[in-house]
Amino acid sequence: MHAIQGIRLLAANRSLWPWAWRPLAWAACACGLLGILLWMLLVPPLAAWVDGHLGGFWIAGALGSLILVALWVLLFSYAFLMLAGLFSSFLWDGLSQEVERLLGGAPAGPPPGMAAATADSILRAMVAGFAGIAALIGALATGPVLPVIIAAGVGLLDYTAPACLRRGRTLRRQVPFVLRARAVPFAVVAGLASLIPVVNVLMAPALVAGGTLLVRELDQSP
């Protein structure tokens, strides 16, 4: 299974570790800044409103901060994955390239230009947004079934994106390329992992490595 192969590859090759933690650090910083921005936008106005109606500005501010921190701890992993997926072509390309070099030979090609990569990221953001809405609606009707299926599809696209982009496959060409039967086990693992807080963050580098292995295999199949 490609996900397990990705874990083994990372564990056995320390040369890949810097390429794994750097994107994690960048995305974590972005999530932290987003959390600070949300605090600045939400907590002071809420505290002021509570103080004006009920009194106790500092108590309201402290309570609002605690609630925001609790929500952020709960949602951090998902916000992290959203940002990492949105910028997958930028954040994870270095790791994907190193995986290909380690397996023999140079990577398939350079990443696309900034304009093409940016347009592709915007399209991915739109797809991820629609997928998130569909997952929330689907959860009400099907429980966890539809969210897992949607997460599997989004994860498959995100973690194979760097290797596909180096081969000139933006999202429109990537979808028919990776949606094959042999990609289903990897997609299921990616989908299940993405729904488990903390695990989804720690698994991201291994899934990028596994996604690169999957793309190389699909390249060689008819």
Distance CA 96, CA 107 (A): 8
Question: What is the pLDDT at residue 68?
Answer: 63
pTM equals: 0.77
Domain membership flag for residue 196 = yes
23 alpha carbon, distance to own chain's centre: 11
Best CA proximity match to 19, nearest among 190, 206, 210, 163: 206
Task: Assess contact for 2 and 213: CB atoms under 8 A.
Answer: yes
Distance CA 212, CA 104 (A): 13
Domain membership flag for residue 222 = no
Question: With bands split at pLDDT 50, 70 and 90, how would you rate the model's confidence at 55?
Answer: low
Distance CA 126, CA 122 (A): 6
Number of domains in the chain: 1
Domain, as residue range, for 44: 2-217
Predicted confidence (pLDDT) per residue in 27-42, tens digit:
677 667 777 776 777 6
Q: Is the pLDDT of residue 87 over 70?
A: no
Domain membership flag for residue 152 = yes
